[in-house]
Each structure stands twice: as C-alpha cells, then as structure tokens.
Amino acid sequence: MKKPWQLASLIFVFLSLFVLIHSFSYSYKDRLGPGPGFFPFWISLITGALSLALFLQTTLAKPEKEEKKSFFPNREGGFRIAFILASLAMVVVFLNPLGFRISLLIFLFFLPLFLGVRNWLAIPILAVAGSFGVFHAFYYWLKLPLPIGIFGI
Amino acid sequence: MFALIGCVLGTLIGVLPGLGPAAGTAILIPITFNLDPIGAIIMLAAIYYGAMYGGTITSVLVNVPGEAASVITCFDGYQMAKQGRAGPALGIAAIGSFVGGTFATFALMVVSLPLASFALRFGPPEVFALLVVGLSLVTGLAGRSLLAALIMTFFGLLLAMIGMDPVRGAPRFTFGVQDLYDGVGFVPVVMGLFGVGEILVSMEQPILEVIKTKLSDLFPKKKEWGISSAAIGRGTIIGFFLGLIPGIGAIIPTFLAYVVEKKVSKHPEKFGTGVIEGVASPETANNSYANAAMVPLLTLGIPGSPTLAVLMGAFIIHGLTPGPFLFKERPDVVWGLIASLYLGNVILLILNLPLVGLWAKLLEIRYQYLYPGILLFCILGAYSLNQSVFDVSMMVLFGIVGYVFRKLDWPLAPAILALILGPMMERSLRTSLEMSGGDLGIFFQRPISAVLLILAIIILVTSAIRLMPMWARKESKN
C-alpha cells in the first residue's frame, strides 16, 4: 500500500495548496472579526502539513512484511466497476432530457444483463418496476417531483 | 405507525449489504418530506435503530456485516450459523437489543433534562471545544493510521467550506457553480461514500453464497440463558455510557463489550468458535448505544456517529435544531421521539423474532439484482433532495472517492462527521474570536472549554502513542 498512500497524500498536499491559494481571495479579517478566508486558510494549512507528514512517514517506513495486495482490481472486477460507473454517468447525463422513467428503465435493464442475469422475465419486470413503478410511487403517492423528459414520459 | 414503518425499513436497510444505517437513513429522508416534523423524526429514528439490528442478520448468516457495528457479531454469530444455530444467534441478538434499547431509552428520559440545563451554560467557545473533542474521538479511534484519520477529518472540513460562509453569508469556493451555493450536500456525499463506494468495492469480490440454515429454533438452550443474561447486562451498561460520549461511533461499544465478555469468561479460548455471549453482549451494546447516542444529539446538538449526523441533517431539513433549546421550544418533538423509542424497541422485538426467516430470504437475492436496486434508491435519494441532477453527479463522484478511500483503508467516518460539524465549528470559532477580539486565550479562560480542549489533546496524544509502530507491534503480539 506504500505507493497508493504516497500518491494519495501528495494529492492532498496539492489540494491543500489549491485551497490555500484560493483562500487569499476572501478576506482573512474584517472589522467584525475573522472573515471568510480565516477558516479555509488554517484548515488548508493544517491539511497540507498532515498530508506532507503522511507522505514522509510512508516514504521512510520499512516495507511491510505481508502479502502483496494489489490496489487495483483484477480485469473482471475492473470491467464490472467501469460498467457501473458508466451506467451511473449515463443516468446523470440523460436523467433530465429523457426523464426518470426512461433513464432508469435503460439502467435497470442493462445493468443486471451485464452482471450476468439471463432471466428474460425477471429483467424486464425489475426494469419496469424500478423505473415506472418507483416513479408512480414517489411522484403520485409521496408527491416527490421527478424529472419528466422530452417525450412527456 | 411511523415507528413501525421505520423499524421495518431500518431492518431492511441493515440487512442489505452495501448499505449501512447512515446511507440508508440518508436515502429514506426524502420519503419523510411530506410528513410533519415529529412523524418524520420518529420514522427516521426508527430506521436508525432498526438498521442496527438489521446488520446482525447478514453478519450471522453470511459473515458480511450489514453495517460497521455488526462486524464483531461475525466472529461468533457466523460460527453459530455454521453449526446450524443461526436461530439462537439471531434470537438472542433480538432479545439483547430489546433489553439494551429499552434501558437506554429509560435512562435517556432521566439524564436528558439535567444534561440540557447544563448545556445551556455552553457558549461559542464551549461549543467549539466540544466539537473538537467529538472530532478527536472519532479521529483518534479510527483506522490504523492517525495521520490518515486526521487528513480525512480535515478533508471533511474542507468540503464543509464549499458554499455560503456560515457567518457572513458570502459564497465561497463555488467557482461560479450555482448548485454549489448550498454546499456539497451531505446526503449525496454519504450515499456516494458509503452506498456507491461499498458496491464498487463489492464488485471486485466473488459472489457470496448464503448458508441455508434451520431458523425454526429461535431461542438459546436453557443453560445459555444465564450466561446470556449476564452478557446482556454488561453490554447494556457499556453501550449506554459510551453512547453518551459524542463522536465515539457504534463500533467502539460493540468491540469493548466483546472484549469485556471475553475477559470475564471462564472459557475465553472459546470466543470465536460460536459462543452465545459473543453475540449477546455486542448486539446489546449496539442497540443500547444507538438509543443513548440520542442524548448528546438532543441535548447538545452533537451527533455521535455518521448515522446520527444524517439524522441531525434530517432535523434541520424539517426546521428543527437539535440542542438544549429544542427541549424548550419543541418539547413535543423531543418527548414524542423518546416515547417512540420505547415503542420502537417493542416493535423491533415483535418484528424480528418471527421475521428472521423472511429477512434471511432477502439475502438469497442475487447481487446482480440487489445492487442495481440499491443504486436505484441512491439515485432517487440524491435527486429528491433538491430535484437536481447535480446532486446525483456528486453522489457518483463521491462513490469513486469512497471506493478509493476504502481501497486505501482510510476511514470515512471522520470525513462525514467533519462535513456535518464543519459549519458549526467554524461559526463557533469565529464567534468566539469576535467575542474575545481575536484572542485565542478565550478557550482556556473559560473552565468548560479549557477542560474539553485538554481532553481533546489527551485523546489525540493517546491515539498517537497507541498507533506508534513500536506499540502497534507489541499490541499485535499480545
């Protein structure tokens, strides 16, 4: 886990630096007391210091005597994760234009299919129940507004 | 009725792997939008302690804790299930949870008002100091690297700064994105970190197989009642007193209860092989803690865990501010909630004893159906908050972040708590400095805040010493 921890702590160092620089855009102090820039300044400074400390600690630490566990998933696992993220991204992009029902119908149809389901009765039932059924329950019964797309569905 | 619905939903949430009580409560907040505040809070509280029991079911049946506090239950609960004794394991967990929860609710009634009166002596410096203690506890007790836990805490504070400045009301770190004016919503963050992140990690693992055990026999043997009763008593006390400390989280009481049980046992070597007290004590501590943790939330406005932080968010959404003034301004909410806790404990017992078989059936749903369903509710929950796709995209983003942090083995709880407490912390710090004209000495000139800050320093120093390599190796050898 050495390299991932080093990389993560470096990312936090840069994030802290970014916040620190931006904190100068806000006033540190005004006539009433500490301004909007006060808290970001100190929090980013402390975060940067902690991240640097972790980077140094990880770099100087002796390698652990344990089985080498890869940070990255294997090929199959990686594909599953990538597909789930792509599906979620699809929902984000098409939720407003296509509406809740159609976006989630597509999502709930293809995701189980990709994950290995071959039950051609269960998949459409799940997809319809999860999209149209859930829409009906939340939109009409619980009065929660959900997006209706360009097709009026 | 709300308590009943909440207990059912909460147990369901706790049973489903991939969702914990924090994410589950967050997901179900939108269904309470059209309820009156009392009803909404009662339902969400019932979901919270229902989820505490629900996590036990998966721990026992499939060795996968449905939520973090049920990790300990896996040690002996799963072994009991392998021996065909899942029934007694789940049964004693239900009974222990009832006893622990009921005792904690009664004690909550007794200590709440005195604690609320004491809390009125808290000004901004005391509030800031208390928040520092809360974050120190969670940080110091989380994970194997204190530095990583501290970084996660400050990461949460950085996220909390996005949006409107809590004192001056000016936008900060929004970069012209209008959706960020309200900040990074904690519901999408929690659902992303806990819900989506957990599912992404699970996608790397092979498919789990459920052990189909006989659940018809729900009760322990005669000789186990005596051992179980004592374990339940100890778990109740440990869970309750630790629940009063804000920031401690549910894992510590369950872990401590298990360790104490092992120490007092005549046969400590049997722990881990399927002993009933190894299930009874931590499960009792879990529910006792869940009810007792309402005390700092209601009296001081300090959430004791990520789930309570989500519950606190729900309070705020419904126009209620947890803290000492809640007792004065809305006693109907407070006492209604406490009354529902009694009822909820009874409902949980009645629900879960006969329904153990049904809950177990849910686990036989293949993950290919289960996970899309969980993701559906995450999407729905994130969108429903502000009817904004931006919140859904935040959820997905934090899902990736949660996945990465899980792979790094960096704790998520400090970040969530800091995200919730950040604005309060900043407000109290800046107000204190306005009061003192910029003098930091104000925190040490007032006795309560001085004591609390010294306590926070002790907690952090103790954690640092505990996690120093030399000590860590010694402990692991023990």
For residue A95, being part of any structural domain is answered with yes
| B433:A33 CB<8 A | yes
Residue B382: is its pLDDT beyond 70? yes
Token output for B204 = 């790397």
**β A33-34/B163-164 pair status:** unpaired
Yes or no: say if B360 and B368 are a contact pair by the CB < 8 Å rule. Answer: no
B419 has which bridge partners?
none
Q: Are residues A92 and A54 in the same domain?
A: no
Please give the distance of CA A12 from its chain centroid, rounded to a whole number: 17
| B383:A130 CB<8 A | no
What is the distance in angstroms between the Cα of A36 and the nearest Cα belonging to chain B? 6
The dihedral of CA B258, B71, B68, B58: what is its sign? negative
Looking at chain B from residue 191 to 230, which residues have their Cβ under 8 Å from any Cβ of chain A?
196, 199-200, 203-205
The verdict on B467 touching A (C-beta cutoff 8 Å) is no
Residue A74 exposed, middle or buried by CB count within 10 Å (0-12, 13-18, 19+): exposed
CA distances for B389 relative to A61, A96, B25, B37, angstroms: 44, 7, 20, 26
Residue B68: is its pLDDT beyond 70? no
Q: Work out how many domains chain A is built from and give that number.
A: 2
CA end-to-end distance (rounded Å), chain A: 48
- Identify the pLDDT of residue B477: 46
What is the distance in angstroms between the Cα of A33 and the nearest Cα belonging to chain B? 5
**CB neighbour list of residue B334: distance below 8 Å, 6 or more residues apart:** B112, B298, B326, B327
Q: Work out how many domains chain B is built from and give that number.
A: 1
- Identify the pLDDT of residue A85: 95
The verdict on B441 touching A (C-beta cutoff 8 Å) is no
Residue recorded with tokens 């006969």: B354
Residue A21: is its pLDDT beyond 90? yes
Instruction: Determine the 3-state secondary structure of B116 from DSSP.
Output: helix
Residue recorded with tokens 């107000």: B431
Distance CA B357, CA B344 (A): 20
Residue B375 exposed, middle or buried by CB count within 10 Å (0-12, 13-18, 19+): buried
User: Which residue from B366, B17, B363 is spatially nearest to B211, judged by alpha carbons?
Assistant: B363
Yes or no: say if B404 and B415 are a contact pair by the CB < 8 Å rule. Answer: no
For residue A70, being part of any structural domain is answered with no
For residue A133, being part of any structural domain is answered with yes
Query: Chain A residue closest to B146 (CA)?
Result: A54
Range of the domain at A7: 2-60
The verdict on B439 touching A (C-beta cutoff 8 Å) is no
For residue A65, being part of any structural domain is answered with no
- Backbone φ and ψ of B286, nearest 5°: -60, -50
Residues in B closer than 8 angstroms to A36, CB to CB, are 165, 167-168, 170, 172
CA end-to-end distance (rounded Å), chain B: 50
Distance CA B242, CA B232 (A): 15
Residue percentage of chain A with pLDDT more than 70: 95
Query: Chain A residue closest to B407 (CA)?
Result: A71
| A88:B429 CB<8 A | no
The dihedral of CA A123, A125, A126, A132: what is its sign? positive
| A33:B438 CB<8 A | yes
Say which range, B45-54, B416-425, B449-458, has the weakest mean pLDDT.
B45-54
Instruction: State chain B's mean pLDDT as an integer.
Output: 79
The verdict on A11 touching B (C-beta cutoff 8 Å) is no
Output the 3-class SS for chain A: CHHHHHHHHHHHHHHHHHHHHHHCCCCCEECCEECCCHHHHHHHHHHHHHHHHHHHHHHHCCCCCCCCCCCCCCHHHHHHHHHHHHHHHHHHHHHHHHHHHHHHHHHHHHHHHHCCCCCCCHHHHHHHHHHHHHHHHHHHHCCCCCCECCCCC
- A135-139, B3-7, B271-275, B448-452: range with highest mean pLDDT: B448-452
Instruction: Give the model's confidence band at B444: pLDDT under 50 very low, under 70 low, under 90 confident, else very high.
Output: very high
| B372:A44 CB<8 A | no
Yes or no: say if A94 and A146 are a contact pair by the CB < 8 Å rule. Answer: no
More confident residue, A32 or B324: A32
For residue A149, being part of any structural domain is answered with no
The verdict on B427 touching A (C-beta cutoff 8 Å) is no
Residue percentage of chain B with pLDDT more than 90: 15
Distance CA A125, CA B143 (A): 42
User: Which residue from B122, B138, B44, B38 is spatially nearest to B424, judged by alpha carbons?
Assistant: B122
Q: Which amino acid is at B99?
A: V
Residue B169: is its pLDDT beyond 60? yes
B172 has which bridge partners?
B163
Residues in B closer than 8 angstroms to A14, CB to CB, are none
What mean pLDDT is predicted for residues B400-419? 86
pLDDT tens digit sequence for B257-286: 887 888 788 887 788 788 999 999 999 998
**CB neighbour list of residue A144: distance below 8 Å, 6 or more residues apart:** A138, B30, B31, B33, B34, B384
Range of the domain at B162: 2-477
**CB neighbour list of residue B320: distance below 8 Å, 6 or more residues apart:** B37, B41, B326, B330, B333
- Backbone φ and ψ of B431, nearest 5°: -65, -40
For residue A146, being part of any structural domain is answered with no
Yes or no: say if B138 and B248 are a contact pair by the CB < 8 Å rule. Answer: yes
Distance CA B167, CA B165 (A): 6
- Identify the pLDDT of residue B23: 65
Q: How many CB atoms lie within 10 A of CB B81?
A: 25
Instruction: Give the model's confidence band at B474: pLDDT under 50 very low, under 70 low, under 90 confident, else very high.
Output: very low
Instruction: Give the model's confidence band at B256: pLDDT under 50 very low, under 70 low, under 90 confident, else very high.
Output: confident
DSSP B178: G
| A50:B150 CB<8 A | yes
A99 has which bridge partners?
A148
What is the distance in angstroms between the Cα of B314 and the nearest Cα belonging to chain A? 16
- Identify the pLDDT of residue B203: 84
In degrees to the nearest 10, what's the CA dihedral of A69, A72, A75, A78?
130
